[in-house]
Structure 1
Amino acid sequence: MLSYTPAEAQQLPLYRVPGLFTSIDGLIAAESTRHGGVSPAPFAALNLGINTADDPANVDENRLRFFSAIGTTEFGFASAHQVHGTAVLHVTEAGRYEGYDALMTNVSDLLIGVTVADCVPILIYDSGQRAVAAVHAGWRGTVGRIVQETITQMQQQFGTQPADCHIYIGTCIDQHAFDIGPEVATQFDASLLGTNPQTGRTCADLKRANMNLCLAMGVPASQIEVSPFSTVANNDDYFSYRAEQGQTGRMLAVIGLKNT
């Protein structure tokens, strides 16, 4: 249950900007919170997900508020109907594409983004070739190495070098809340597994798993930022599909290049 009143929630930040990206000219990157929107419970308040039972008019207003807050109302926006796979799409224009969990572009004034409510959002900026990517990595995408596939696709399409990549691994379910069964646990390296102290069940660290994949590709550790927040432990600020038993909203993690 949220500890904020609706009036107080309007004063809280609609989004956070990864510190890794704050000093990069011409780059816009943001991760929304659940604050500052118009949706009622259980989607309170800044629900940005169109595949929910929320009133579409609420989601439209919430998206307008979010895009206005980050200064991208004049940008095109590209997203996808995510399927928990590993397919990566090179996008050059706005639209909603079917069946992809990662988008990449080098087109200016085009924002790309992924929706999340426990899965890992990953934002990538290639400083060498001036290209960006947005990745949705649930446990299937993580064990399928979607972040590595995205960097590989950026190499082939743009000439991206891992050493030039700056990567934000965003807010998601934390290790101690991500209980998994044995059939899933066997797909993770043992070093990524732990035990939920409350349930005694095996759990996995999705943030560290994706960080390790980036490091293995040759991305410098100094160019990787991992969100300190958790959708479950910080459920007052972020939507969590698990913590709210599927009745909740969605956040957006977005990235784009300004036309300079």
Structure 2
Amino acid sequence: MYLVAALNALLLFLNLYFYGHLPDWLSTKIKEGWGPVFAASIAILGVLWQTNKGFKNLIASQEHQATLNREQTIEANRYERAEQTREKADQKLTLLRALIEELKAGQDNLHSLVSLCSVLEKNYEQLDPKATVDLPALPQFEAVIYKANAAKLDILGSAISHVMQAYARLEKRMKLPGSKSDAQTLHFAILGFKGAILESVKAIQAHLIELENQEQEFADELADATQEIGLLEKQKLNSVLEAPRVDYSRLKGI
């Protein structure tokens, strides 16, 4: 700014000299013919200075925009990663919760089967050991959710082993080999079957405890991802509401 004022003062001085408005004591110190040369030189210097300053301001503006673009790209990538983490955590948590509920339903069926075995055990004791009897219909369990999501179990990570072992126990102990035999054979079969069911109930309960712990970890993971996305959205909103801060000190002298 000060340089521009100095150049303008010099140009005014030369114009006054050129048109004869300077005092004689001052005008005689400048040789004739040099006034236009000085004026042209100063004008050229002024143009060069302004051009140089303009290029510097342009570069500063481009650098500032490049910085903004980098920051926006970093924020966009961070937001995308957070969204992917939240989506994956939500999928894992939803699937695991559904499997846990199905396993608990299957466990309830096993308890019902134990009660039925106790009734059959007493009935067969009262029959002729050689009498041929039929087994009543046993409660059935269909692992609908497990079978429908078999291809997606990998997203559960280490929890998949507990899921598969629990379902293997459940499906195996819901079936009693044979449906017709003599009362004595069925009586001993029911005793063994009942013991196997109780063992499976205990094993499935242990797997459920591990799965419920894993469920809490998935829930925490989802909460952390959701919180991070909330913070990113808040930062994005603040950046929109606030005007971009430019270092105007670098633009002085325009």
Measured against the shorter chain, the TM-score band is under 0.3
TM-score (norm 1): 0.19
TM-score, normalising length: structure 2? 0.19
Between structures 1 and 2, the one with greater strand share:
1
Higher relative contact order (CA 8 A, sep 6+): 2
